[in-house]
Structure formats: structure tokens, C-alpha cells
């Protein structure tokens, strides 16, 4: 059967679009250690994997740094080997006898220059994209191409003139929470047409494991006869882990609070302060693929972020919250803008931030309540549209406008 002219044009157009997407390259710039225990490193890896699954030819550019895991990122994060990892040789100034702040600045500048040199050799085409959440490497790259995609993970509170200059050279800007969207419109109104709102994401299959709470506890050697509240994440001050540890002091002995994660240095300090408490278990860092089992072993997953720091209250879109939602466990979280944007009273138990006794009461009360499964189902339904796959699709669609 012959196609009419309009049909042939439609087939040709569709074929050409698919061909262009498949040939389109994306260079993801990440300045940190890769892989590492940091959430930013995981975010970079999952982004690279998912953009590649969507049909882009992806290369992630990272600095050759000391202190990187001997495992490849593919093994470390259980990623599909569908993208390239390019280690750029730079001087690692963290090995020099200079303050860390200066070393970071020098490393950042060195990486920005090295990524510029690499991209220049790639002879970028108009359809290629240079993508990062770090503004300086993107600014350097903007002298090679206008197809610059910036994920704004923080919000500039100073040097707005310099930052405004950077933003003018970026073609697309992703902002991952609504507070920053509102602030962006106020501070950078001339760039408003460039932005897309897109929160963080999760892989549902990683966290919605077909394993019961009892089976998970057997695997992890956790008691079956206690109500267990689990926190998985870093022990930085703004994350609020210390607030949960203080709350544990006010719980009855029928409860156990488990902390999973943290750098070696932070874990040592946390154990010195809270390790002797009878109803606390501090596990330390565990591989990423093990985290879903710890979350499945819980009765409650706690996100005790502080309201005292802007990065916590306003800037972040917590990856941990999305992982909690995908785990189908009751979430008890601080009632702050960055968290309330994603969950509300119908999908989580929200409590006043920075109040250990109030947090303890919420955990204690939840332990005696029935019918809370309605919260877990509502949270899972909410997070179902925030998968890495759907996120990448929306971003790619936006760049084709």
C-alpha cells in the first residue's frame, strides 16, 4: 500500500526526530568525587544513566581525584553501563597543605578549565547539550556552545550581578523547588522564560522491594519486637539527625532508632555523642543497594531536617524524601517548606522542626495508631510521577521547545 504525500512526510519527520535524539550528545559535568557516599554523586550517576536510557549519547565528566571508591560508579550504584565516564586529569589541591576552602576553589577552577578543554576537542554541535548543577564549568562551556542546561541546586544570596551574567549565557535552567522558582522570578525576571520546574526523583523498583518488614529485619539482624524508626542519610547539621537522636531520649524502651549513613568522620563523632544511648543503633555508611532493605525494615522513616538553615528549609528537594515515599513506610518529617512542597498531612506526619520532644511524641503516637497505611499509599501515589525516567523525559522535551 502506498503512502500519500502527507503520510510520507509524517514518517520522514518522525524518523528524523528519532534520529536526531539518538545522535544528540549530552555532557554532564560533575566536580565532586565520583563515585562517593555523597547524594550529589548518586544524583549525577542516576541522571547520566537515565538520559542514556532516553536515547542520548551521554558522557559524564569528572575530575581525577583522590579518595574515590575503587569500585566503578556502575558497580557502586548498580547503574547500567550505558554512558561514558571521562576522568579529567587535574591537580588535586586537597592533597596540598592548604586550607580546604582554598583547595576547593582551586580544584573547582582547574576542573572548569579542564572540562572546557575537553569539550573544545569534542567540536560541539548545536544539538549537543552541556549539563550541570555547577555554574562556573557551565560558564566556561558557554563560550563553546549556547546549549547549556543548568540545574540550580542552591540559590545565590550574594554576587547577584556575576550570577546574572552567568544565567544570561545559559539556555535552560532547571529549578527543583517552588520557593526557588518564586525567588528566581523576583531576582532574575529577564531569565524567567528559560526555567523548568522539576523536583528530584527516585527509582521505584529499587525501593519498593517485594520483602516484608520481618524478612528485612532478619536480614539485618534487627529486633522483631520493637517499633523501629529509621533515618538513612548524612549526619550533617542541617539534615537534623542530631534532632532525632535527642528525640530518642524521650521514647519508651519499646522503640529503637536506627541511623544508617554518614562519612567516617561524622559517624565517629555521632557515636561519641549518642552511641551509648540504649535505644539508638548507629550503623554508619552502607552501600546504596542496601539502603532499601533498611528502609523496608522500619515502621517509620524519619526526615528531621532543621528549619534553621536555608539550604534545608528552602533550597533542597530531598532525594531521601522521594526514596522514603517509594518504600511504602510511614514518613515522619519536619514541617518546613522544602518538605511540605512534596508531602502534606494526607501523605506524611509533619511535625514542628528542631523540637526533639515533639518529634518523639509523634513517633510514640504513631506507634499506637492504626490505619496509617492510607498515608503510605498516598505518598507512593505522589512519588509515582517523580521517577528518573519521567524526569528525564520532561527535561528532554523541554530542551526541544
pLDDT digits (tens, 9 = 90+) for 210-225: 999 999 999 999 999 9
pLDDT score for 255: 97
Q: Can you tell me the distance from the alpha carbon of 359 to that of 20, in angstroms, rounded to the nearest whole number?
A: 52
* CA-based nearest residue to 336, from 358, 311, 356: 311
Neighbours of 295 (CB within 10 A): 23
Residue 348: predicted pLDDT: 98
The predicted pLDDT at position 370 comes to: 87
State the pLDDT at residue 67. 67
Q: Where in the chain is the domain with CATH 3.40.50.2000?
A: 5-201+387-399, 204-383
Q: What fold is seen in the domain 5-201+387-399?
A: Rossmann fold (3.40.50)
Query: Are the C-beta atoms of 180 and 265 separated by less than 8 Å?
Result: no
What is the pTM (predicted TM-score) of this model?
A: 0.89
CA pair distance 181, 27, nearest whole angstrom: 25
Pairing of strands 300-303, 227-232: parallel
CATH, domain 204-383, list 3.40.1010.10, 3.40.50.720, 2.40.340.10, 3.40.50.2000: 3.40.50.2000
Query: Which phi-psi region, left, alpha or beta, contains residue 382 (left: φ > 0; alpha: ψ -120 to 50)?
Result: alpha
Q: Cis omega before residue 35 (within 30°)?
A: yes
Give the CA angle between residues 146, 144, 183 to the nearest 5°.
40
Below-50 pLDDT ranges, the chain: 1-19
Amino acid at each position: 500500500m502506498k503512502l500519500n504525500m502527507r503520510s510520507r512526510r509524517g514518517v520522514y519527520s518522525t524518523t528524523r526526530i528519532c534520529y536526531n535524539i539518538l545522535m544528540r550528545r549530552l555532557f554532564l559535568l560533575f566536580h565532586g568525587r565520583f563515585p562517593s557516599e555523597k547524594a550529589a554523586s548518586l544524583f549525577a550517576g542516576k541522571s547520566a544513566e537515565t538520559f542514556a536510557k532516553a536515547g542520548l549519547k551521554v558522557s559524564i565528566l569528572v575530575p581525577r581525584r583522590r579518595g574515590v571508591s575503587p569500585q566503578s560508579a556502575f558497580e557502586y550504584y548498580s547503574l547500567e553501563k550505558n554512558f561514558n565516564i571521562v576522568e579529567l586529569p587535574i591537580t588535586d589541591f586537597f592533597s596540598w597543605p592548604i586550607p580546604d576552602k582554598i583547595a576547593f576553589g582551586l580544584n573547582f577552577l582547574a576542573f572548569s578549565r579542564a572540562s572546557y578543554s575537553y569539550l573544545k576537542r569534542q567540536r560541539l554541535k548545536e544539538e549537543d547539550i552541556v549539563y550541570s548543577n555547577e555554574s562556573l564549568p557551565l560558564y566556561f562551556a558557554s563560550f563553546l556552545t549556547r546549549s547549556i542546561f543548568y540545574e540550580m541546586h542552591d540559590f545565590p544570596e550574594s554576587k547577584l550581578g556575576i550570577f546574572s551574567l552567568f544565567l544570561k549565557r545559559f539556555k535552560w535552567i532547571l529549578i527543583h523547588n517552588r520557593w526557588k522558582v518564586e525567588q528566581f522570578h523576583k531576582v532574575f525576571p529577564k531569565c524567567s522564560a528559560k526555567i523548568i520546574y522539576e523536583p528530584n526523583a527516585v527509582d521505584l523498583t529499587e525501593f519498593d522491594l517485594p520483602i516484608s518488614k520481618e524478612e528485612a529485619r532478619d536480614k539485618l539482624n534487627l529486633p522483631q519486637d520493637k517499633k523501629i524508626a529509621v533515618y538513612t542519610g548524612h549526619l550533617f547539621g542541617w539534615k537534623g539527625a542530631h534532632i532525632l537522636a535527642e528525640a530518642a531520649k524521650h521514647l519508651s524502651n519499646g522503640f529503637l532508632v536506627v541511623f544508617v549513613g554518614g562519612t567516617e568522620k561524622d559517624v565517629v563523632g555521632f557515636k561519641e555523642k549518642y552511641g551509648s544511648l540504649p535505644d539508638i543503633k548507629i550503623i554508619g555508611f552502607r552501600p546504596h543497594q542496601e539502603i532499601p532493605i533498611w528502609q523496608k525494615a522500619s515502621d517509620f522513616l524519619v526526615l528531621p531536617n532543621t528549619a534553621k538553615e536555608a539550604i534545608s528549609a528552602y533550597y533542597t528537594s530531598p532525594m531521601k524524601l522521594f526514596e522514603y515515599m517509594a518504600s511504602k513506610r510511614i514518613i515522619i518529617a519536619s514541617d518546613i517548606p522544602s518538605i511540605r512542597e512534596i508531602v502534606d498531612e494526607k501523605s506524611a506526619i509533619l511535625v514542628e522542626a528542631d523540637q526533639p520532644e515533639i518529634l518523639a511524641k509523634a513517633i510514640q503516637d504513631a506507634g499506637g495508631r492504626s490505619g496509617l497505611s492510607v498515608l503510605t499509599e498516598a505518598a507512593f501515589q505522589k512519588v509515582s510521577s517523580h521517577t528518573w525516567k519521567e524526569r528525564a523525559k520532561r527535561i528532554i522535551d523541554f530542551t526541544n521547545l
